[in-house]
Amino acid sequence: MQLFGIPNCNTVKKARDWLDQHNIVYTFHDFKKNGVSQALLENWLSQMPWGKLVNRAGMTWRNLSEPEKAAVVDVASAMQLMQAKTSVIKRPILVKSGKILALGFDESNYQKIHNI
């Protein structure tokens, strides 16, 4: 199992703490250090619409210029933005065997996923 995000994000911290408290083994992929590959984004975008993966409520999105925001209109433009500015990706993303189990952190959802 992998958890994707950035370490200083409060929601990612909550997810990591929850997984640690329940002794669930995972590897952490830090977008800031490790980036995100085109293949990974293509996989995620095959499972979820780009509008859910791009975090429009976050500071990264809000700090984009209006023309930059207006340019994100489809999968290709969203993928380009997510690769250029990884902190615009909604996080955390919990993945197992390439399948997205959870986007964001919701304790009840994590309990269901892990049968707790």
Choice among 3, 4, 5, 9 that is catalytic: 9
Residue with tokens 């809000």: 62
101 class by beta-carbon count within 10 Å (0-12 exposed, 13-18 middle, 19+ buried) = middle
Name every residue whose Cβ is closer than 8 Å to that of residue 51 and which is 6 or more positions away in sequence. 78
**89 tagged catalytic:** no
DSSP state letter for 22: T
Residues with active-site annotation: 9
